[in-house]
Structure 1
Amino acid sequence: MTITVLTLLKRREGMSKADFIAYYETKHRLIGEKVLAGWASRYERLHLHPLDGQTLDHDFDVVLEIDFPDQATCDACFAAMADPATMDEIVEDELQLFDRSRMRTYAVERHRSAL
């Protein structure tokens, strides 16, 4: 059974949406690929653009989805990421990109309709 972890992320104050996406996709993504390799089966970033064109204070800028083949693999990956050197690398780069106080991570329970 696939396990999906979803994280909502907000860019740091003063960073434009274009600069945020460029940094994420050319730099931060590479750290994600490195730490998730061998554990995750999918690492996808869904950059959000409000349909009404307005950015509100409570909005997030990107939804991160990561799939794992099972709960044991997910748990092992997060345990490996907790290694101090790995965590230092992740946090140091996150400070360039995110408002870390706004990060929210969830386990996903899917219910799909057949249309």
Structure 2
Amino acid sequence: MITLLKRREGMSKADFIAYYESRHRLIGEKVLAGYATRYRRRHLHPADGQDAPHDFDVVLEIEFADQAACDACFAAMADEATMREIVEDEERLFDRGRMRSYTVEDHESVLPA
């Protein structure tokens, strides 16, 4: 699963990354433990170095061993208290209206050395 996330209006990129990695990440680790095999955040920095407005600030990658583990994780996350904790923290960090999640079909090329 990949989710594209945009920081909330008025938050600097440095503050966004610091908050995500020191606080929000911990919620993710807690709710994904026992279900996901990987929880990776890829913070995006424009290749041209310009901090201009853009669509997303981070690519969140969550990998599961199989669909059953993914389904079980999202069922557990639907618990009212868990969902409240996630949403309340997301509102401090993200433009929730811009969140986009996708399941991923992987194709990989083996390149010559």
Alignment TM-score, normalising by the size of structure 1: 0.93
Closer/same/farther in 2, CA of residues 13 and 107 from structure 1, 3 Å limit? same
CA distance in 1, matches of 2:58, 2:85: 20
What aligned pairs does 1:1-115 form with structure 2 within 5 A after superposition? Answer: 5-115=1-111
CA distance in 2, matches of 1:103, 1:56: 19
CA distance in 2, matches of 1:18, 1:58: 15
Count how many residue pairs are aligned between Structure 1 and Structure 2.
Answer: 111
SS in 1 for 2:108: coil
Structure 1 stretches lacking a partner, 5+ long: none
Identity %: 77
Alignment TM-score, normalising by the size of structure 2: 0.95
Structure 2 stretches lacking a partner, 5+ long: none
CA distance in 1, matches of 2:98, 2:49: 21
